[in-house]
């Protein structure tokens, strides 16, 4: 009897056993199709002794239906799936879904029908057809995807197909990507860069687990240096994964990659079209995708022969996923490198305290690039005390910053104003009755966006048009904006210097690769004088004429008071400061603050990074916070407030009493209502010695809540809202 155990992609089911029909060649890792009732499900054949046993007797087992036409999932990746599920207290199936993350790819080689404009006009123009023609220029995709792009129904497009306005094209789903060439345009490295690159190249050649912290100041050439490790992997025929925090800012990176290697890398992120996703997945599995640049989900793809992982801007919090499987891609990347025996490079100018600690304890090898490339100097950093020299009433830019901006404009140089707040104002209220616009689904204010004339919730996406009269008291024209967002700062700049060409750079304005490319081109061509941007512009960009950076409100990040607030502020300000003076002209940074005496501001002004990190580390050690102790959160939510509260209290009432674990809560979460669900939190602080995950599993295991109650476990949380 040939019996196998499947990990199926449905977390509610658990492992299932099947019979292997004669002649079917199945081994651990095989991706198969199996019957489930009247349905068919896909799953991965797993080592039976590594999954909980099932009780179905042999004679009642149903046979597998077939092998899916994809390579078997390798043992190294199976171990990573197990490790991730275990460490983050997540269902195995949920992690396995991130491996088999393209439904299309599992169906095997095929062609698909895409459509594109022929250039012929329709018999009769309608507004919808006109819109479709305008938006579909240069696009080729399935009807469904084109309908999304054009913002019209599929019916409208089918009408255009029958008139010959759109034509069908058969495309091979898996046409190969052009290979990057390691010797295409080799840079001349300076001695410091050479030494670093040599170390990485040797590690790639050795093909052993080797974690590195590449700690180099902004503009030191970290990218150039790890590109040499990429080149070495390519020479050996191995694949490379470069994880990036935000796919929105990869545009500049892609161009650099292409000029170094003569071909673009393969992209992986959540908004790929299904056909692109399928093509990328299959190329990754077959080994013909040589270099993959991706968001965190690229980490779980089934690379055939990985040779190197790079985590760029490794300190970024966006590597932590805050829903579903709540994993930290930076940490899982290191585990993947370990299971696959690979070097992994964490690159950053402002490493996370956790990474620095791993380096100083000798677990990671630290490679330093202390100087900017080409003799460029790090910018001078000044502090503007907003208490001593406040901006004019109703304004947000202090005189010193305004003067410095004028100077840059006179010299034809660029200014970047950084404020990590999208929209015009974070709060809108009625001047007459004090009514505040709040999201109906979240405990959050609605943010006014003047450019798009919406009030929007940044948590759930809820949007409304700003009403003409107050919904509470009926007073017309009574809405006042409170506090600044980037749009308001841009208005202020336009008021102060009407001639300045101002660009707003946020995910609202640079949301697509085309828009990002257009912005970069305009900034490089000197068509922008002042950039007003969110954290989206704090990294990756290199504008030689940008010589002034103004941090509009350095205190903003410190308000939340979570354990990484100071570190995050340091990182953000240091990164955005790193945009200044990257060319021949020296840069200047002005930090506006109401707390010039705060240690993080003082450290930024004096450039004493090490002292700041040391003080932070001490504070964390005293608080038992990471990396010296560990945190975990349990978030209980329900659409019914009483149900959420009762469930949270029941869990709190059963809390284990252990010497190396402290449990806080339950308490309403700071974001007590999110997307229509009421939320309660318990926070667990444990010594490093505690078996945190086992404790939580044992604690929660006896509970059976109705499906309307959701229990989320967040190990090593980054978000405390």
Are 416 and 537 a contacting pair, CB within 8 Å?
yes
Which listed residue (62, 542, 594, 645) binds ligand ADP by CB under 6 A?
542
Q: How far is the CB of 249 from ligand ADP (least distance, A)?
A: 12
CB 29 within 8 A of CB 87: no
User: Which window, 215-223, 234-242, 450-458, 647-655, contacts ligand ADP (CB under 6 A)?
Assistant: 215-223
Q: Alpha carbon of 301 to those of 190, 278, 330: distances in Å? A: 35, 12, 15
CB of 204 to Zn ion, least distance (A): 46
* The entry of Zn ion, ligand ADP, none that residue 494 binds, CB within 5 to 8 Å by partner kind: none
Q: How many residues bind ligand ADP (CB under 6 A)?
A: 15
The reply to whether 348 sits near ligand ADP by the rule CB under 6 A is no
Comparison of 352 and 439: residue with beta carbon closer to ligand ADP = 352
Distance of closest approach, residue 318 Cβ to ligand ADP, in angstroms: 17
Closest CA to 582 of 546, 549, 606, 537: 546
Q: Which of residues 563-582 bind Zn ion (CB under 5 A)?
A: none
- Identify which of residues 273 and 542 has a Cβ nearer to ligand ADP in the complex: 542
Alpha carbon distance 512, 602 (integer Å): 37
Nearest CA to 54 out of 2, 91, 7 is that of 7
Decide whether 72 or 189 has the Cβ nearer to ligand ADP: 189
Q: Which stretch binds ligand ADP (CB under 6 A): 105-113, 211-219, 420-428, 657-665?
A: 211-219
d(CA 580, CA 575): 10
Question: Which residue's structure tokens are 């869990």?
Answer: 651
Please tell me whether residue 439 binds Zn ion under the rule CB under 5 A: yes
x/- mask, ligand ADP, residues 356-375, rule CB under 6 A, reads -----------------x--
Sign of the CA dihedral 222, 226, 231, 234? Answer: negative
Among 5, 222, 260, 681, binds ligand ADP (CB under 6 A): 222
Using CB under 6 A as the binding rule, whether residue 193 contacts ligand ADP is answered as: yes
Cα torsion angle, 262, 266, 271, 272, sign: positive
User: Minimum distance from CB of 250 to ligand ADP (Å)?
Assistant: 13
Nearer to ligand ADP, 217 or 663 (CB): 217
Out of 24, 460, 496, 712, point to the residue binding Zn ion (CB under 5 A). Answer: 460
- Residue 497 binds Zn ion, judged by CB under 5 A: no
CB 713 → ligand ADP: shortest distance, Å? 35
Task: Say how many C-beta atoms besides its own lie within 10 A of residue 556's C-beta.
Answer: 17
Give kind and range of the element (H or E) at residue 664. strand 661-674
Taking the complex as a whole, how short is the minimal distance between the CB of residue 698 and ligand ADP, in angstroms?
45
Q: Is 240 exposed, middle or buried (0-12, 13-18, 19+ CB in 10 A)?
A: buried
* Binding of residue 626 to ligand ADP (CB under 6 A): no
Span near ligand ADP by CB under 6 A; candidates 89-97, 131-139, 182-190, 664-672: 182-190
Q: Are 554 and 594 in contact (CB under 8 A)?
A: no
User: Does 441 engage in binding with Zn ion (CB under 5 A)?
Assistant: yes
Q: Which residues of 589-619 are buried (b: 16+ CB within 10 A; e: fewer)?
A: bbbbbebbebbbbebbbeeebeebbeebbeb
* From candidates 44, 73, 143, 189, binder to ligand ADP by CB under 6 A: 189
What the block records as the tokens of 75 is 């043992």
Cβ(87)–Cβ(693) below 8 Å: yes
Mutual angle of helices 250-261 and 222-235, in 10-degree steps: 50
> Which helix H or strand E contains 307, and what residues bound it?
strand 306-312
What number of chain residues touch Zn ion (CB under 5 A)?
Answer: 7
Q: Taking CA 66 as the corner, what is the angle to CA 61 and CA 72, rounded to the nearest 5 degrees?
A: 105
* 223 in contact with ligand ADP (CB under 6 A): yes
Q: How far apart are CA 106 and CA 42, in angstroms?
A: 9
Helix (H) or strand (E) holding 417: strand 414-418
- Identify what 36 binds: Zn ion, ligand ADP, none; CB under 5 to 8 Å per kind: none
Q: Please pick, from the candidates 14, 29, 122, 187, the single residue that binds ligand ADP as defined by CB under 6 A.
A: 187
Residue 396 near residue 491, CB atoms below 8 Å: no
| Contact pick of 442, 503, 644, 713 for Zn ion (by CB under 5 A) | 442
Structure tokens at 538: 């704090």
Q: Which does 442 bind (CB under 5 to 8 A by kind): ligand ADP, Zn ion, none?
A: Zn ion
Query: Minimal distance in Å, beta carbon 427 to Zn ion?
Result: 14
- Where in 171-210 is the site for Zn ion (CB under 5 A)? none
Range in contact with Zn ion (rule: CB under 5 A) among 1-9, 150-158, 438-446, 635-643: 438-446
Residue 224 interacts with ligand ADP (CB under 6 A)? yes
Where are the extended beta strands (E) located within 535-582? Answer: 546-551
Please choose, out of 60-68, 181-189, 338-346, 586-594, the segment that lies near ligand ADP by the rule CB under 6 A: 181-189
Which region, left, alpha or beta, applies to residue 642 given φ > 0 means left and ψ of -120 to 50 means alpha?
alpha
**Is 364 within 8 Å of 212 (Cβ atoms)?**
yes
Q: Which of residues 284-303 bind ligand ADP (CB under 6 A)?
A: none
Q: How far is the CB of 573 from ligand ADP (least distance, A)?
A: 16
Least distance in angstroms from the C-beta of 214 to ligand ADP: 9
| Closer by beta carbon to Zn ion, 332 or else 457 | 457
Task: Closer to Zn ion by CB, 179 or 670: give it.
Answer: 670
Q: Which residue has its beta carbon closest to ligand ADP?
A: 221
Contact 583, 373 (CB under 8 A): no
All residues at 6 or more sequence positions from 501 whose CB lies less than 8 Å from its CB, including other chains: 527, 528, 529, 530
685 forms part of the interface with ligand ADP (CB under 6 A): no
Tokens of 227: 């590109």
Stretch that binds ligand ADP, among 7-15, 203-211, 219-227, 468-476 (CB under 6 A): 219-227
Residues that bind ligand ADP (CB under 6 A): 187-190, 193, 216, 218-224, 373, 542
Residues that bind Zn ion (CB under 5 A): 439, 441-442, 457, 459-460, 462
């Amino acid at each position: 009897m040939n019996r196998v155990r499947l990990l199926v992609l449905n977390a509610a089911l658990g492992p299932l056993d099947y019979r292997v029909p004669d002649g079917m060649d199945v081994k651990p890792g095989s991706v198969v199709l199996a019957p489930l009732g009247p349905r068919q499900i896909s799953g991965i054949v797993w080592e039976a002794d590594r999954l909980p046993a099932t009780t179905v007797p042999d004679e009642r087992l149903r046979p597998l239906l077939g092998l899916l036409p994809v390579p078997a999932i390798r043992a190294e990746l199976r171990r990573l799936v197990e490790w991730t599920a275990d460490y983050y207290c997540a269902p195995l199936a949920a992690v396995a879904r991130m491996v088999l993350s393209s439904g299309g790819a599992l169906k095997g080689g095929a062609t698909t029908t895409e459509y594109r404009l022929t250039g012929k006009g329709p018999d009769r123009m309608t507004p919808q057809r006109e819109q479709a023609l305008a938006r579909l220029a240069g696009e080729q995709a399935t009807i469904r995807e084109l309908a999304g792009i054009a913002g019209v129904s599929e019916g409208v497009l089918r009408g255009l197909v029958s008139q010959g306005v759109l034509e069908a094209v058969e495309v091979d789903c898996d046409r190969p990507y052009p290979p990057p060439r390691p010797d295409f345009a080799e840079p001349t490295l300076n001695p410091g860069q050479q030494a670093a690159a040599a170390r990485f190249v040797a590690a790639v050649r050795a093909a052993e687990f080797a974690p590195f912290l590449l700690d180099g100041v902004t503009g030191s050439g970290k990218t150039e240096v790890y590109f040499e490790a990429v080149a070495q992997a390519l020479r050996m025929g191995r694949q490379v994964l470069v994880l990036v925090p935000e796919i929105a800012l990869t545009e500049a990176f892609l161009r650099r990659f292409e000029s170094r290697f003569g071909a673009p890398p393969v992209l992986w992120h959540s908004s790929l079209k299904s056909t692109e996703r399928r093509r990328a997945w299959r190329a990754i599995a077959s080994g013909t995708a040589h270099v993959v640049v991706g968001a965190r989900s690229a980490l779980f793809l089934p690379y055939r022969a990985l040779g190197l992982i790079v985590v760029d801007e490794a300190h970024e919090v966006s590597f932590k996923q805050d829903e579903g499987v709540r994993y930290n891609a930076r940490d899982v990347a290191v585990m993947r490198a370990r299971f696959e025996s690979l070097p992994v490079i964490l690159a950053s100018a402002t490493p996370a305290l956790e990474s620095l600690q791993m380096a100083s304890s000798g677990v990671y090898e630290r490679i330093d690039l202390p100087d900017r490339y080409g003799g460029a100097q790090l910018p001078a950093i000044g502090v503007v005390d907003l208490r001593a020299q406040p901006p004019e009433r109703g304004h947000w830019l202090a005189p010193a910053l305004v003067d410095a901006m004028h100077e840059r404009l006179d010299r034809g140089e660029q200014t970047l104003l950084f404020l990590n707040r999208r929209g015009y104002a974070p709060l809108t209220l009625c001047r007459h009755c004090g009514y505040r616009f709040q999201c109906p689904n979240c405990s959050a204010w609605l943010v006014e966006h003047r450019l798009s004339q919406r009030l929007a919730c940044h948590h759930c996406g809820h949007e409304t048009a700003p009403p003409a009269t107050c919904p509470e008291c009926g007073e017309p024209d009574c809405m006042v904006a409170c506090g600044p967002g980037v749009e308001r700062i841009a208005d202020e700049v336009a008021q102060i210097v009407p001639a300045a060409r101002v660009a707003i750079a946020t995910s609202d304005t640079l949301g697509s690769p085309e828009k990002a490319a257009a912005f970069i081109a305009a900034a490089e061509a000197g068509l922008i004088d002042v950039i007003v941007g969110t954290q989206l512009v704090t990294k990756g960009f290199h504008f030689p004429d940008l010589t002034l950076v103004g941090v509009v409100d350095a205190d903003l990040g410190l308000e939340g008071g979570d354990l990484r607030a100071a570190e995050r502020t340091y990182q953000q300000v240091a990164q955005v400061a790193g945009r200044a003076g990257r060319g021949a002209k020296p840069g200047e940074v002005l930090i506006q603050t109401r707390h010039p005496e705060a240690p993080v501001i003082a450290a930024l002004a004096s450039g004493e990074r090490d002292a700041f990190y040391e003080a932070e580390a001490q504070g964390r050690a005293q608080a038992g916070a990471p990396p010296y102790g560990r945190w975990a959160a349990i978030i209980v939510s329900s659409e019914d407030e009483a149900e959420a509260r009762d469930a949270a209290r029941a869990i709190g009432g059963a809390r284990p009493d252990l010497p190396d674990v402290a449990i806080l809560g339950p308490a309403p979460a700071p974001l007590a209502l999110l997307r229509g669900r009421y939320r309660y939190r318990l926070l667990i602080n444990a010594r490093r010695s505690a078996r945190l995950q086992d404790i939580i599993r044992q604690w929660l295991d006896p509970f059976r809540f109705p499906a309307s109650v959701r229990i989320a476990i967040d190990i090593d949380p980054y978000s405390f809202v």
